[in-house]
A and B are shown apart, each in its own frame.
Chain A
Amino acid sequence: MNPLILKGIRENLRFKHLIAAGLFSLIVCSTVYLTAFLQGSEGKFSVNPETKEWVKGEDSPVNGARNAFTFLLALQGFHLMFLGTGRVASITAEERESGLLDYQRMTPMNPLSKIVGYIFGIPSREYYMFLFTLPFLGHAIIAGELPWGNIIHLYSVFFCSVILYHLTAHAVGLVVPKPRAASWVSRIVVLGLYVVLPGLGQAGISFLSFLTILPTYFGKILPVIQEEGDHKKSDFDYESQITEFWQDVPFFDFTISPTTFTFLMQGLLILALLVTGYRKWRNQALPALSKPSAFFIYSIFQLLLLGCLWTFFDRGEASGLIGQELSANEFYRKEERIMGLILVISIFFSLSVLFILCLINICCPNRHLYLKGIQRIAKFNLARIPRIADESSGLFLTLILAAITLFTYCLLISLALDSEAWELTSTFHSLSLIPAAILMLAVIYLQASRELWFNLGFWGFVGLLWITPLLASLVIGVGWGEENMSLILRLLAINPLSIIPMHWMYEHADIGNLPEEITQNLESAIWFGLLIAGVFASVLQARLYFLRKK
């Protein structure tokens, strides 16, 4: 057995723990399960159409078990995904802080074995508590007549998600500097990555939805529960719509089953987290990702974005809420369809830029690391630091990432321009030049600021430049909106993420019937935003250049 798993079992499953955790799990699980089962089994009251009297239907253990199954799944998720995730992050961070991790780092075990040992050893108590839910699960499956095939699908994805969450927590524990914060930071990261981000799946970027078990649950379990359950009897068919949404995943011109897509997505994320864990285990001081890994991960991310948005830009078809709205011809007016397009392109651009921001933060060397590289090349009389080394400047990588984004963006707008679904009147150049310029300038100043300053300086700069103008424009907009439209738009344009929707609105001002004054304000705001980005890019790059030359 892996020594670290054995250590986790020894630490967490002594006799007193076995009794306490076992009793806790048993009591909570039996309470939740029995309550849900009994409540679900009871026959429902309905009005008899003939007598107009309330009558109680027949009790159904099948309905009870199916009702309890969902609650049981939530409880299992609480044990392994919530408690387990927090424990993995906090223990990893504590051991790193105390120096215990250094002992492990010095053992000749392979870093991957160490990662496996940590993510399975630390939450051993949570896995033990999970065991106590299994008899109830067995009952729910048998009494609820749930098909084993679907259950196997669901639990394969469930455990894949658990591993993903624990791996995320472990990586957070290795990266977050303060151990006390690690537990909550990991939960927030897990919540953001696997709950909030999947929400964007509703805006057509369906691959983000597959970071959770929800697609498999809605696609494989909910239809079965609805078959005989009381839900079917309800007039409200929202759940049916959700079920339909998860049946297949549009990707380029073909579709993939939700389970396969979930495995694919989670597998890719697990791979990225393993790279991070591996590097941090090898050397705590190394950045979480190397430059080639960042390039590889970002390329896959863009490929997934492209695949998921392909049909939307090509034919105006999409999954999620946007897809439903389009399918239901809610966006029947051209300006409404264009607004949908602007919304999706803004989400695409924002996600890409935020991802690049994270990679800049991870892969660009801070002053310490860069100085180390300089000292080394001076010592060994080398001409320059190798471009892919951790110590080398991140400008080259940053520009490549921006170029990949622009490539995807250009492909998408080409599709939209050629498509009959959108009937766009703009040209390729008018839609691509401004976004290309703002993206390049933004990544150039972000890279320079990251390499000039430490964490606090970098994030402070990004916060001040990107968030403060948005807040100020919000206040001005609420108080003195109409008379200060030009100022509001200029403030918004300081944030490069705002420029994309502004530019698209400007380009399609005729379709949206925007007043002439607003159109002019939009145009001047866009140029103002470009000017600000240009000034920051040149000033910060010049500062970085002279600092390094010195």
Chain B
Amino acid sequence: MIQVQDLKIHYGDFVAVDNLSFSVKPGTVFGLIGPNGAGKTTTIKAIATLIEPTYGEIMLGETSVLHQPEQARRILGYMPDFPPVYDDLRVEEFCDLFAHAYGQSSVERKEKVEKALAQTELTTKRRELCKSLSRGMKQRALLAKTLVHDPSVMLLDEPGANLDPKARIDMRKLLRKLADQGKTILVSSHVLTELQDLCDEIGIMRNGKMVVSGSIEEITQRKQSARTLEVEIAGESSKLSEWVEQWPTLSELKHRDESKTQFDIIHSGDREEIPEILSQMVAHGIKVISFTTRKSKVEDLFLEIESGSTEFDQN
């Protein structure tokens, strides 16, 4: 449903998004993950018709966002990363305004507003002025407004940023439900745990580029080529660090959780090599208390990408 091809966006000399390509299938939730400044918001805004890219193509089904923005807007729902609302409107008036702007009749509007308020659990707050709402509630009001014209493509920039834990879980459930109903959802966040349980696919961005994308399982499998060994030793660490330096497939010895005896070591060799590493370590006189292979998580991968220590070939 969303097809982004060779998207490039400049802010003057600065390249905010650099030849980005990805696609999101209908009925799926795609998570854009990346550190601040990675280009997530710019990408979402370009899909939302709010930024004109330098070049590239964005298709929503058969509709070209660049060439048919008016048509694209009819099927788009966009929720920005901060919740500006019309302070002096009541919550139901706020939703009604957008239902009206999308050309719905008064009967239709009433029904759609009712439904959106119920979906976002704002029914009890419907008569309150938007300015009296907390940030979390404003976020919900914004989601209600996004849902009110029943868009088939939803773009949500940091949707859980201001929500309490329960509201986050509720929102996840709601988005999952909407995806199951066939909506295409693109979500951005830098809170990975939020997306891990929600998204069918993720894309990790850095410096305007998509570093890696695919389903979470696919990505973590690809990451298996570089794994972390967790080692706890007794005695001095200098022996361990000298030994690690000599072993060609080991690198980046780091203290774990500020402990003097627990270490993380990056291993980039074959999995079959791991027993040999352990035996050689012991043979070398290192007093190993524990030795485990940590299963790679998306969070690790994300942190590595953020620090620039991992490079993937995106294809």
Contacts and interface: CB of A to CB of B under 8 A. Distances in A.
A153 interface: no
Contacts of B12: 367-368, 371
Given A98-B84, A103-B145, A285-B52, A7 B97 contact: yes
B10 interface: yes
A375 interface: yes
Contact of A99 (B76, B82, B93, B145): B82
Contacts of B173: none
Interface stretch (B26-34, B98-106, B241-249, B283-291): B98-106
B88 A11 contact: yes
Interface in A67-126: 98-100, 102-109
B243 to A, nearest CB: 51
A98 B89 CA distance: 16
Interface residues of B, number: 34
A10 to B, nearest CB: 5
A99 B51 contact: no
A11 B50 contact: no
A330 B48 CA distance: 66
Contact of A100 (B50, B52, B86): B86
A6 B100 CA distance: 10
A322 B51 CA distance: 51
A100 B13 CA distance: 28
Contact of B73 (A11, A108, A380): A108
Contacts of B51: 285
A3 interface: yes
A106 B55 contact: no
A282 B74 CA distance: 15
Nearest to B6: A379
B101 A107 contact: yes
Interface string B69-89: 110011010101010111011
Interface residues of A, number: 31
B140 interface: no
Contacts of A98: 84
B13 A3 contact: no
Contact of A7 (B49, B52, B89): B89
A455 B97 CA distance: 37
A293 interface: no
A106 B73 contact: yes
B73 A107 contact: yes
A108 B13 contact: no
B310 interface: no
B112 interface: no
B102 A368 contact: no
A376 B66 CA distance: 14
Interface string B44-78: 00001111101100000000000001100110101
A87 to B, nearest CB: 13
Contacts of B93: 7, 10
B8 interface: yes
By secondary structure, the A interface counts as helix
A334 interface: no
Interface string A1-30: 001101100111010000000000000000
A7 B86 contact: yes
Contacts of A102: 48, 50, 78, 80
B10 A375 contact: yes
Contacts of B89: 7, 10-11
B10 A368 contact: yes
A486 to B, nearest CB: 45
Nearest to B85: A100
Nearest to B19: A379
Interface in B194-215: none
A375 B14 CA distance: 13
A283 interface: yes
A372 interface: yes
Interface in A109-164: 109
A107 to B, nearest CB: 4
Contacts of B103: 108
B84 A380 contact: no
B80 A99 contact: yes
A367 B100 CA distance: 40
A408 to B, nearest CB: 36
A542 to B, nearest CB: 22
A11 B100 CA distance: 16
A104 B70 CA distance: 12
B70 A372 contact: no
Interface in B1-52: 8, 10-13, 48-52
Contacts of B69: 282
Contact of A283 (B52, B70, B85): B52
Nearest to A99: B84
Nearest to A105: B50
A4 B78 CA distance: 19
Given A106-B78, A368-B10, A3 B97 contact: yes
Given A3-B101, A107-B98, A108-B102, A371 B50 contact: no
A109 B89 CA distance: 20
Interface of A: 3-4, 6-7, 10-12, 14, 98-100, 102-109, 282-285, 367-368, 371-372, 375-376, 379-380
22 contacts: A3-B97, A6-B100, A7-B97, A10-B88, A10-B93, A12-B88, A99-B82, A100-B84, A102-B78, A102-B80, A103-B98, A105-B50, A106-B48, A106-B50, A106-B76, A106-B78, A107-B98, A108-B102, A108-B103, A109-B101, A372-B54, A375-B10
Closest 4 CB pairs of A and B: A3-B100, A107-B101, A98-B84, A11-B88
